[in-house]
Amino acid sequence: MSLIELDFIDLAWASGMMAIAIAISIWQKLKLEGQLATASVLTVVNLLFVGLILKTVFQLNDPWAVLAILTVMLAIASVVAGNRIGKKIPRLSIVVGGSILASTTLTVGYTNLLVIQPQTWYQPQYIIPLVGIVLGNAMNGAALAGERLASAISAHQLEIETHLSLGATPQQAIDRYRQDAIRAALIPTLNAMMVVGVVTLPGIITGQLLSGVDPLNAAAYQILIMFMLALTNLITALLVVRGLYQQFFTKNAQLRL
């Protein structure tokens, strides 16, 4: 199957869809036209810029260039996840960034060594897309788990202090909230796994199909990615929750908010 490449004329026609959306917003007086226009411009600028950067990195095929890209991606994901938690927690960036780094390294390392087995570990064609997908989901998982735990501890301060006064350890006192936070981080991934291919076609498999890849091969890669996301989100949630709850207690097991 041959690949139909899109040129700038095709993208100009594609932008017509956003023009229609803006016209509908004006017609219905939704006042979304400014946001739609801004989002459209940023989408084009950001993706074309990223495309140029990735094209250069792919041509260089240099481990340091790949590591530079991955470091920037990790830093952005860590900052975004920390901001979503929305609490002034000590060492929050370290906890979130370390958790995302550990889960991403483990999952992508497992995939590269045992599943895909590229010629070099830093082969941009594989490592950058895989890390990008995993980082995005790890970021969301960290934000969901961290925000849920922080909110639960703040909302149930009296209950937690009661458990502590009765001799419970900090981990025992917040165990129920810890489990709820981890489950909350996994819900989007589990829901997606339940209906993938039946109700929805994810962007990865859709992109591969549009590029002419054999449907069964595209499906195989999507299976791999879904399993990667499940493991990454679980590990990220576990590490974030463990790191965050320790920031809410003193060395004497006293709750601090």
The pLDDT score that the predictor gives to residue 127 is 92
User: What confidence score (pLDDT) does residue 33 get?
Assistant: 93
**pLDDT tens digit sequence for 167-193:** 888 888 888 999 999 999 999 999 988
Q: Single out the residue in 60, 86, 102 at which a domain terminates.
A: 60
222 in the same domain as 155: yes
Residue 87 has what pLDDT?
A: 64
Q: Please check whether residues 215 and 101 belong to one and the same domain.
A: yes
Q: Are 169 and 212 contained in the same domain?
A: yes
CB 151 within 8 A of CB 202: no
User: How far is residue 153's CA from residue 160's CA, in Å, rounded to a whole number?
Assistant: 8
Its domain, for residue 28, covers 1-60
Q: Which of 184, 222, 228 is nearest to 200 (CA)?
A: 222
Shared-domain flag, residues 147 and 160: yes
Q: Which of 102, 77, 64 is nearest to 231 (CA)?
A: 102
Residues 55 and 76 in one domain: no
Q: Is the pTM of this model over 0.85?
A: no
Q: Is 254 domain-assigned?
A: no
pLDDT of the residue at 92: 86
pLDDT value, residue 20:
96
Q: Which residues of the chain have pLDDT under 70?
A: 1-3, 87, 200, 257
What local confidence, expressed as pLDDT, does residue 89 receive?
Answer: 79
Domains in the chain, number: 2
Residue 255 lies in a domain: no
Determine, yes or no, domain membership for 73: yes
Pick the closest to residue 146 from 248, 223, 228, 58 (CA basis): 248
Residue 1 is predicted with a pLDDT of 56
CA-angle at 30, arms to 28 and 33, nearest 5°: 105
Q: What is the pLDDT, as a whole number, of residue 106?
A: 95
